[in-house]
Amino acid sequence: MKKRVLTGIKPTGYAHLGNYFGAIKPAIELSKSEEFESYYFIADYHALTTLKSKEEMQEYFYNIACTWLACGLDPNKVVFYRQSDIPEVFELNWILSNVTPKGLMNRAHAYKAIVERNEAEKQEKDFGVNMGLYNYPILMAADILLFETNLVPVGLDQKQHIEIARDIANSFNKKYGETFVMPDGLIEEEVCTLVGLDGRKMSKSYGNTIQLFTSENVLKKSINRIVTDSRLPGEPKDADCTVNKLYKLFVSAEEAKIFEKKLLDGLSWGEAKKELFEVANRYISPMREKFEYFQAHKNEVDELLRLGAKKARVVAREVLDRVRKAIGV
């Protein structure tokens, strides 16, 4: 039997180059393997813990959905759906919360970090924490366990959430008998951590991202904002600089070598950024066209996701029925 791979993508901002090279591209490559059956979904109800308005939800939801389709996700091959279209997830969420010790949630990193910050700032411990944030890991366990998932490809920051899902599956299985498949994280610790404009990890939370799909003009402007040192034209540049690191992602090994040599030979930062823009734009353009197509045809995106949810719900129903039977309802 094929192994089932499942991952959720949170629509909490515009997709950036770090998301593309660190998560989207590898997940799409994985979905092409005949060894696996892939379930990729947009975790819109998880995003609720951070989004500020209906407009943000709509904007980021379609940005992320169109991004995956534009980057080559094949909806005939991947079960691609929207979390909120699967009511079974939320029923399972409630059931699982009854086998989840509160202490386990107290130890979840995201919650703990807020408590620690509040304590440092002499605030009430739970200041700013709502139950959505607190229960977040249970909903994620429901996403995973409902589909008898074997493998969950995620970034290192999600490792604890997978462990929590396993703990919850274990306590359920112990109380009601073997019901859930035990999921494993597929955590690529080696996966490139892309640097952002300021040289730190590219991340929404640092405001140092280069958005994947914007106009050529905005892409050029973002690249021009990459922080460089004060070395003058003619002076050798550091091969470890952000411009070089980003350039490599878009080109072959030979092209990368040629560019690096030019930097070492004193290429000016202005010229270097111009060349980076050229290769980035060359790489992104064909995908950008598809992205713009889907943005202009949101009804097609909705329809694809509806079909995906229909497929997903066949499995979800089956597993949930088994769970209901196990608990006696």
Which residues bind to ligand ADP, rule: CB under 6 A? 10, 12, 18-19, 22-23, 154-155, 192-194, 201-205
Q: Any idea which residue has 């949170």 for tokens?
A: 10
Q: Hey, what are 61's tokens?
A: 């939801």
Q: Min. distance of Cβ 264 from ligand ADP in angstroms?
A: 25
- What are residue 187's phi and psi, to 5 degrees? -110, 110
| Binding partner of 143, given ligand TRP, ligand ADP, none, CB within 5-8 angstroms per partner class | ligand TRP
| Binding partner of 193, given ligand TRP, ligand ADP, none, CB within 5-8 angstroms per partner class | ligand ADP
Q: Min. distance of Cβ 303 from ligand ADP in angstroms?
A: 26
Selected from 144, 243, 312, 319, the binder of ligand TRP by CB under 6 A is 144
C-alpha 14/C-alpha 99 separation (Å) is 36
Strand ranges (DSSP E) for 245-321?
none
| Binding partner of 19, given ligand TRP, ligand ADP, none, CB within 5-8 angstroms per partner class | ligand ADP
Asked if 140 touches ligand TRP (CB under 6 A), the answer is yes
Q: Any idea which residue has 């696996």 for tokens?
A: 36
Name the residue nearer to ligand ADP (CB basis): 97 or 203: 203
Q: Is 222 exposed, middle or buried (0-12, 13-18, 19+ CB in 10 A)?
A: buried
Stretch that binds ligand TRP, among 4-12, 65-73, 101-109, 198-206 (CB under 6 A): 4-12
- What are residue 186's phi and psi, to 5 degrees? -115, 90
C-alpha 205/C-alpha 183 separation (Å) is 29
Asked if 15 touches ligand TRP (CB under 6 A), the answer is no
C-alpha 17/C-alpha 61 separation (Å) is 17
By CB under 6 A, name the binding residues for ligand TRP. Answer: 6-8, 10, 43, 46, 140, 143-144, 152, 154, 158, 161
